[in-house]
Amino acid sequence: MASAEFWYEFASTYSYPAALRVASLAEERGVSVAWRPFLLGPIFAAQGWRDSPFNIYPAKGRYMWRDMQRTCDAMGVSLKRPEPFPQSSLLAARIALALEGDRRSNFSRRVYIAEFGQGLPIADRPTLAALLTRCGVDPVATLERAESDTNKALLKAECARAAEIGVVGAPCLVTEDGEVFWGNDRLEQGLDWAARRRARVSP
């Protein structure tokens, strides 16, 4: 089966519609998707940014929120800006990484819906623990695993890996042959690429 990686960051607005779309788009194309949570902070810091570029460049921020509104309207999903924006995504990313398979993608979608669909804060333990409970996952054990030194180190390694393979923003779809497709609006193209590549290399 063809496969691709879906790199996402919980503070990233465009990762919200992408997280809601990627599973069905991948299924239509026969592509299996590995969900890879990471943090844009280190990548932005390397570019000299200490805040979201949508805050540093207000005209781009205004454009992005309007573009997001049109995108969400077209999908029939709600959009509500959380305050502050961006939300701290560190704990959510650690938790997502501590989960596996469907649990990871289910939890991640719930975080995005809470954050950008309902405008709720997603930085604190009680909020994230409640989302874990709704996923049918034990919040205490999961938070413990999420905050273990091993898991913290794993998230750091994932961030380094993202930079290394050319992930320049979020979301990114990365194919087995190393092509990077950046943006919610590149999901279809990236998944098509993954499916076509598989067709070429299959016996």
Stretch that binds its own copies, among 134-142, 143-151, 178-186, 195-203 (CB under 8 A): 178-186
Find the angle CA(8)-CA(182)-CA(34) to the nearest 5 degrees.
Answer: 45
Taking CB under 8 A as the criterion, the residue among 19, 180, 191, 194 binding its own copies is 180
Q: How far apart are CA 181 and CA 101, in angstroms?
A: 22
Residue 76 carries which DSSP code? T
Q: How far apart are CA 72 and CA 55, in angstroms?
A: 21
Sheet-wide strand order for 180-182: 31-37, 2-8, 172-175, 180-182
Could you tell me the smallest distance in angstroms from the CB atom of residue 146 to its own copies? 29
Q: Report the residue number, 66 or 156, with the smaller CB distance to its own copies.
A: 66
Stretch that binds its own copies, among 12-20, 57-65, 129-137, 148-156 (CB under 8 A): 57-65
Name residues contacting its own copies, limited to 22-51 (CB under 8 A). 43, 46-47
Could you tell me the smallest distance in angstroms from the CB atom of residue 56 to its own copies? 8
Number of residues that bind its own copies (CB under 8 A): 22
Q: Please give the structure tokens belonging to residue 134.
A: 């709704």
Secondary structure percentages of the chain, helix, strand, coil, to 5? 60, 10, 30
Q: Is 76 in the site for its own copies (CB under 8 A)?
A: no
Residues at the contact surface with its own copies, assessed by CB under 8 A: 43, 46-47, 57, 59-60, 62-63, 66-67, 70, 163, 166, 168, 179-183, 185-186, 189
